Amino acid sequence: MNKEEARQRIEQLRKELEEHNYRYYVLSQPTISDYQFDKMMEELMELEKQFPEFEDLNSPSQRVGGDITKEFETVKHKYPMLSLANTYSEQEVTDFDKRVKKIIGEGVEYVCELKFDGVAISLLYREGIMQQAVTRGDGYQGDDVTTNVKTIKSIPLKLRGDYPSEFIIRGEIYYPHEGFKKLNAEREELGETPFANPRNAASGALKMQDSSIVAKRPLDCWLYNLLGEELTTSTHYENIKLAKQMGFKTSPYLAKAAGLDDIFDFIKSWDKSRTELPYDTDGVVIKVNNLKQQQELGYTAKSPRWAIAYKYAAEKASTRLNSVSYYVGRTGAVTPVANMEPVLLAGTVVKNASMHNQDIMEKLDARIGDMVYVEKGGEIIPKIVGVDLSKRPDEAKRIEFITKCPSCGTQLIRREGEAAHYCPNETGCPPQIRGKVEHFISRRAMDIESLGEGKIELLYDKGLVKNVADLYDLKYDDLIGLEKVYPADAEKKERKVSFRDKTVKNILKGIEASKEASFQRVLFALGIRFVGETVAKKLALHFKDIDKLMAASFDELVAVEEIGQKIAEAVQQHFRKDENKEIVNRLLSKGLNFKVSEDEAETSDILNGRTFVISGTFEGHSRDELKTMIETHGGRNTGSVSGNTDYILAGEDMGPNKRQKAQKLDIPIIALDEFLQMINKE
């Protein structure tokens, strides 16, 4: 490829990748598969390396990060970043409306929107290119976090359509709930202190020095305020529309309000439903729509007179702390959980709250018998936020963190730099053993549904299953007639587990069927620390079989995309242990899959841009295998049929709802052999 050809290809790739970013992250309507996207990105990065003269700091390749910021530079805001006056009652909103009308007169139009609970950011664009991203700081000057913000995929590096030659746009960077839960679970497993809320997680990410780590965080951003001398719009509403046209992610929940009635309707309609959003909001912002009127109203020293925030009261309750229990997870991590007098909070009865670890527990200093405050926001599990000291009973008892495993009595350890305590008795501690087996049979691992709900506990209690390989030795006669009554505990009511003929047959059938599960599932099912579904898939497809994976050196492991030091160490440690090696050998001898199938190992671009929905069951191919085949040939899988679906791959027992929807949307329904033909398999 000569220089000119390279320049053209680079330009084309950049354009296409930015467009796909936009479709995926702003519109949530991707048109190509992740695999294809990655391939294009790889090609771009390779060309950029070969032809460094075409460097562009706004190339989509910059979004993977890599630059390190030692110290964030302080930048002065061109327009101060003020805060909003907060109100908590209808009366205060009525007063605000009165103040506005006193200056503007009657007929003021408002815009209501959600108040996002994240970290405020100010973005500067010149000639359609993102120049700078600055945090709020003290409102007059903030930190330049451009390098990190560039990794947030929904923030355009280059704008679309027409745009003013220079302007500032402000918004809120946030951490979605799902990603937040994952992040905290990972942190707890690593023994790090979990973040108190998604806002702190977002703010922590923005201040990281290594932007390649930030790039891996699922940060997102809503934009809600446009500023600049060249704007020709006359209302805030038009500004938001313009921002959307330029490619920014703006809130779909924006409503014009003619007066107080409309405003209160908006507030009420979001009071409950906001908790169903996949991110945190803490109120409603009411803004005067007309920009001239905004100017006329002006600012106080702290906040604009043309806007106000109505904050929903945090859903909080107070109740008595009765005791603390300690739970041991499958990795041995010990979590303290508060048991409280049941109390109604945000529509549900709450009686337990996680206290995460010793440090968090001690900082809170709640004592047994104390009245504690519990709070719940969005989807996040309830937590104790404080103690009502005025109600502390004389006999209130300090809580001492345990030193021995509550289950097996082994002395707990706390590794240096980690916040969690662990029970090191991996192969002898009952909840760890049960947890490992439960993980093994879980839906996303070996998917042995017939072993769910208390059955593992019974098998363990009867001494039949002490590790995952034991499952494959189970016989009808071992199981039939087994029975045990489990008394009620804090979590569940009293229950009886018993194995009758049908149950036993189902269990054995489920175990037998699991032998079909793909290598990547088996690898995930083994429960190696830090090896989640995605990592298992990467490792399986890279090393192709268990022998190569077990023999892989540290350097070979970290050379795999997305495999870092931590994972590599965990993999090596796992396979160094004799008992784990023995489990693999036993599973191998029982016929489980420890290498990728030929079909999975093959790759192409044949299904470029096609989205599939798989429905029903297939002979000779597991759904997983089919999914991998779709992906490795450049296609995309989704769970539900929509206007974006290109094909439905239908097996036996295709769901009637899916069929109906497909017919309505005129989506071709193809059978397995047609699919295999598509990828030149038949």
- Which residues are catalytically annotated? 115
Output 222 or 530, the one with its CB closest to ligand IVH: 222
Tell the smallest beta-carbon distance from residue 310 to ligand IVH (Å).
11
Tell the smallest beta-carbon distance from residue 228 to ligand IVH (Å).
15
The SS3 call for residue 266 is helix
Tell the smallest beta-carbon distance from residue 197 to ligand IVH (Å).
15
Output 132 or 410, the one with its CB closest to ligand IVH: 132
Output 44 or 145, the one with its CB closest to ligand IVH: 145
Output 111 or 479, the one with its CB closest to ligand IVH: 111
Which amino acid is located at 420 in the chain?
A: A
Rg of the chain over CA atoms, in angstroms?
Answer: 28
For ligand IVH, the nearest residue by Cβ is 120
CB of 236 within 8 A of CB of 224? no
> Beta strands of 542-665 (E only): which ranges?
611-615, 636-637, 647-650
Output 308 or 525, the one with its CB closest to ligand IVH: 308
Output 132 or 339, the one with its CB closest to ligand IVH: 132
Give the other-Cβ count within 10 Å of 315's Cβ: 15
- Please give the order of strands across the beta sheet that includes 647-650: 636-637, 611-615, 647-650, 669-670
Which helix or strand (DSSP H or E) is residue 156 part of?
none
Closest CA to 411 of 396, 397, 421: 421
Tell the smallest beta-carbon distance from residue 86 to ligand IVH (Å).
7
Which helix or strand (DSSP H or E) is residue 203 part of?
helix 198-206
Which amino acid is located at 129 in the chain?
A: I
Place of tokens 């090191």: 424
Phi and psi, residue 538, nearest 5°: -60, -45
Tell the smallest beta-carbon distance from residue 171 to ligand IVH (Å).
8
Output 48 or 113, the one with its CB closest to ligand IVH: 113
Residues that bind ligand IVH (CB under 6 A): 82-84, 113, 115-116, 120, 172, 224-225, 285, 304, 307, 309
Tell the smallest beta-carbon distance from residue 121 to ligand IVH (Å).
8
Which helix or strand (DSSP H or E) is residue 57 part of?
none
Output 41 or 307, the one with its CB closest to ligand IVH: 307
Tell the smallest beta-carbon distance from residue 24 to ligand IVH (Å).
24
- For residues 487 and 484, give the distance between their C-alpha atoms in angstroms, rounded to a whole number: 10
- For residues 187 and 201, give the distance between their C-alpha atoms in angstroms, rounded to a whole number: 11
CB of 608 within 8 A of CB of 634? yes
Output 86 or 467, the one with its CB closest to ligand IVH: 86
CB of 668 within 8 A of CB of 648? yes
> Beta strands of 146-230 (E only): which ranges?
166-174, 220-227
CB of 622 within 8 A of CB of 517? yes
Tell the smallest beta-carbon distance from residue 575 to ligand IVH (Å).
48
Assign 3-state DSSP to the chain and report helix, strand, coil percentages, each to 5. Answer: 40, 20, 40
CB of 308 within 8 A of CB of 87? yes
- For residues 45 and 307, give the distance between their C-alpha atoms in angstroms, rounded to a whole number: 45
Which amino acid is located at 294 in the chain?
A: Q
Place of tokens 């922590």: 204
Q: How far is CA 56 from CA 10, 157, 158, 247, in A?
A: 10, 11, 11, 20
Phi and psi, residue 415, nearest 5°: -70, 150
In the numeric block, which tokens belong to residue 535? 């990592």
- For residues 21 and 29, give the distance between their C-alpha atoms in angstroms, rounded to a whole number: 10
How many CA atoms are closer than 13 Å to the CA of 53, on its beta-carbon side? 5
Output 307 or 459, the one with its CB closest to ligand IVH: 307
Tell the smallest beta-carbon distance from residue 462 to ligand IVH (Å).
56
Tell the smallest beta-carbon distance from residue 208 to ligand IVH (Å).
20
Q: How far is CA 493 from CA 337, 486, 489, 676, in A?
A: 19, 9, 7, 49
